[in-house]
Amino acid sequence: MKEADPKNGRSSDSRASAGPADRQLVEELAIARKIQTAMVPQRLPAVDGIELASLYLPSEQLGGDLFDVIQISEDILAVTIFDVASSGVPAALLASLAKVSFANQIRLVSSPRAVMERVNEEMIRSVSAGYYITALVAFLNLHDNKLTYCNAAHPYPIIVRRGSNLVEPIKSTGVCMGLFEKGHFEEKSLYLNWGDWLLFFTDGLYRLFSGENELANRRLLETEALAAAKLGSLSDYVKQLERRHGSVASSGGAGDDITVLAVEFLAQSRKNLLKEKLGFGQNDPVYLQFISYFEEMDKTTSTILGAMDSLGYADESIRKMKIILTELFANAIYHGNKGDHSKKVVVGHTIDKQKVTISIMDEGDGFDPSKVPDPTLPENLIKDCGRGIYIARNYADSLAFNEKGNRVSITKYHVTR
């Protein structure tokens, strides 16, 4: 009989025979880790006005941290970050399932709470009891930098308000996902300002700090983030966290996955930028719409005409406005954007009981309105050009183009019925 191995109680023969199997297991776990890491977004969306940076530092074991950034539309960015309360193969499988489920639901519903509720229901149906996740879903409206979010017992994100030199936790209540069929998930909203930093993370980040407990580590994180925001850029701060991880890991202190997604608001909100381009003031209550196809013109026109009707504008004014908008929208799509449906026509309007002001801007190269032939002259009667602008100019109370010629603004005053 072979002598027993004092370390594992197995004979040297059984240990030798188990060697290849152990190596195969190690290799399979390494492959699983690579697959899980590949599920982390390698490229973040390029979005005007904000900077995105991320950090994903897996531990040696399979874990359950993942995040995702999905650009739902030109105006809405969705963020998901979650952590499976387990480790190893089960955690990795559940994380993969959750990522797909979150991504699917984000594209189906426009509410973070609805996303949470649907993913929670899928987890209850598909995963046995004993496994649950903490998660956060947030929708960022790029027009006005409004953040709508829902938290399922996940570490609170933070906002570094550089303008006021404060750190603000983003708090909302919610239970872990996968535990209760009818889980409670509170949805809340707030607004971000120029220069603000927004940090999403998993609890593994706390391990990079040397406080006595998690609360102390969170305070150290907030203090350091505020100091970093005063001195450098967001990408520099994320690199600083990565260096800190390298130092902590070398001393054996980092034993959990670390996931960070950071957002910096570089400029004014997209909505205000568009309002400015359309010729409106920052405080004007502008309603923005976008069209690319002729089929979308009716819906956009109806929104404006409906607002005029509700404020008592005369039927004749509404009729003339319909003709004006039909001509100008068609010009912007066909002549301005050259029929390129990948380009948009931006329409902004303000309306009150005195007047309606509408600005229409295409993505074309513009033109010189003074060179448009007068369609009323005998030599131009059979030419198919200039009629739309002529009609709009005569039906509107005022009509003006910007210097480039890719934006036209019209005003129609309220005439009492």
C-alpha to C-alpha distances, 207 to 156, 190, 201, 243, 247, nearest whole angstrom: 16, 29, 12, 13, 12
Within a domain: 14: no
Say how many domains are in the chain.
Answer: 2
Within a domain: 34: no
Within a domain: 13: no
CB 119, CB 105: distance < 8 Å: yes
Q: Do 337 and 364 belong together in one domain?
A: yes
Average pLDDT, the chain: 85
Q: Do 88 and 144 belong together in one domain?
A: yes
Within a domain: 155: yes
Within a domain: 7: no
Domain end point (choices 229, 245, 265)? 265
pLDDT averaged per 10 residues, the chain (length 417): 39 50 71 71 83 84 81 90 78 83 93 94 79 92 89 95 90 88 90 92 90 90 92 88 83 73 84 89 88 93 94 94 95 92 92 95 90 68 68 92 95 79
pLDDT, tens digit, 9 for 90 and up, residues 199-245: 999 998 998 888 888 899 999 999 999 999 988 888 899 999 998 88
Give the N- to C-terminal CA distance of the chain in Å, as an integer.
109
Q: Can you tell me the distance from the alpha carbon of 329 to that of 410, in angstroms, rounded to the nearest whole number? A: 12
**CATH code, domain with 400:** 3.30.565.10
Q: Do 133 and 180 belong together in one domain?
A: yes
Domain end point (choices 214, 247, 265)? 265
Q: What is the residue whose two structure tokens read 């970093």? A: 228
CB 4, CB 14: distance < 8 Å: no
Q: Do 323 and 221 belong together in one domain?
A: no
Within a domain: 19: no
Q: Do 298 and 240 belong together in one domain?
A: no
pLDDT at 268: 72
pLDDT at 45: 86
Q: Do 282 and 258 belong together in one domain?
A: no
Domain end point (choices 243, 265, 287)? 265
Within a domain: 221: yes
Within a domain: 27: no
Which long-range contacts (C-beta less than 8 Å, at least 24 apart) are formed by 249-254? 253/207, 254/57, 254/59, 254/204, 254/207, 254/208
pLDDT, tens digit, 9 for 90 and up, residues 345-356: 999 999 999 999
Element (H, E) at 84: strand 76-84
Q: Do 122 and 216 belong together in one domain?
A: yes
Q: Do 258 and 138 belong together in one domain?
A: yes
pLDDT at 4: 40
Q: Can you tell me the distance from the alpha carbon of 185 to that of 57, in angstroms, rounded to the nearest whole number? A: 28
Please give the residue range of the domain that contains residue 311. Answer: 270-413
Query: Would the pTM count as exceeding 0.85?
Result: no
**CATH code, domain with 245:** 3.60.40.10
CB 138, CB 151: distance < 8 Å: no
